[in-house]
Amino acid sequence: MQHPRPGVTPSVPHSVLPHAVAAARRGWHVFPLRTRAKRPVRTFTDWERHATRDENAIRAYWGVHPAHNLAVACGPSGLVVVDLDTPKNGETPPPEWTRPGITNGADVLTALAEQYADGDTAFLDTFTVTTRRGGTHLYYATPENVAYRNTSGRLGWLIDTRATGGYVVGPGSYVADPDGRGPYTVTNPADVAPLPGWLATLLEPARRRPATSGQVHSMLASHPSAATYVTKALRGEENRVLSAREGQRNHTLNKAAFAIGTLVGAGMLPKHLAEDVLTTAGLQTGLDPNEVDATVHSGLQAGIARPRGAAA
């Protein structure tokens, strides 16, 4: 955290400040977001390393920048946050979730609990934040020595998770985006509950940290379905993402994910290896981790739906 310039006296605490201090006292690492936005301020591009729980630094920063929003860095804080969203105008559930009573992410989570936890809802008693569009952030403590990654739609429709490599907008913030505006409000100040076992099991594929490209290409070489041109294709798309110009990086990542998804759909490449390479490349370009996850997920799914032919 940057301290105020010499001679500058911090202003009266802004409404976000008590939330930032409270988060730090819970052991969470925080950093600032832009005013009324969800993106880190420009001086916090390496936010996961610079996030802090130092109360003095927090008071100094928000004293000088009272309008900046708050973010909680999930990985350093030992958190997995389950993000239950609400549909945007005109958005309808995919076929697998077109069921009576399913209207939003909370309904999907309830259906999952009925299936995997015998309907036990005790897991809902954890620190909870209501988001700007009426969604919910459920905070859970990560099991010791386990590193979960972000997911987008892995659990089901309108459910994302944020963990290592991700962050959530913290309570006390106010976001004004084209798709909705409003505050992030604590609606259950309970202690953070341990990640439920059944959720941990469902998130099992996401527990790996992104592999380095060398590790992934080594795994590919030993995978029976991997061919030389598949490895070359993966390396080529990875390099395109890494060399993309600012302003084109997300678009390039989406195109790369689609192209690689066609190989995954054809059974030529394990999906988790494709996710690891693309996610790592996207993060290395400086893209927002939440944006990287969503782009990789949607691009791969679109490519998987159009598998490449054997002669490709």
Residue 82 in contact with residue 109, Cβ under 8 Å?
yes
Output DSSP code: residue 96: G
Where residue 309 falls among pLDDT bands split at 50, 70, 90?
low
> Of 228 and 38, which is predicted with more confidence?
38
What are the pLDDT digits (tens) for 150-194? 888 889 999 999 998 889 999 999 999 888 899 999 999 999 999
Tell me: pLDDT of 217 over 80: no
Give the model's pLDDT for residue 9.
37
- Rounded to whole angstroms, how far apart are CA atoms 86 and 177? 15
Computed from CA positions of residues 193, 167, 182, 98, in that sequence, does the dihedral angle turn out positive or negative?
negative
What average pLDDT does the structure give for the chain?
Answer: 85
Convert the pLDDT of each residue in 52-78 to its tens digit.
999 999 999 999 998 999 999 999 999
The stretch 206-216 carries a mean pLDDT of 50
Provide the β-strand partners of residue 79: 141
Rounded to whole angstroms, the Cα distance separating 312 from 301 reads 19
Provide the edge-to-edge strand list for the sheet that holds 167-169.
Answer: 29-33, 69-73, 167-169
- For the segment 222-273, what is each residue's pLDDT rounded down to a tens digit? 554 445 778 888 889 999 999 988 889 999 999 999 999 998 888 787 787 7
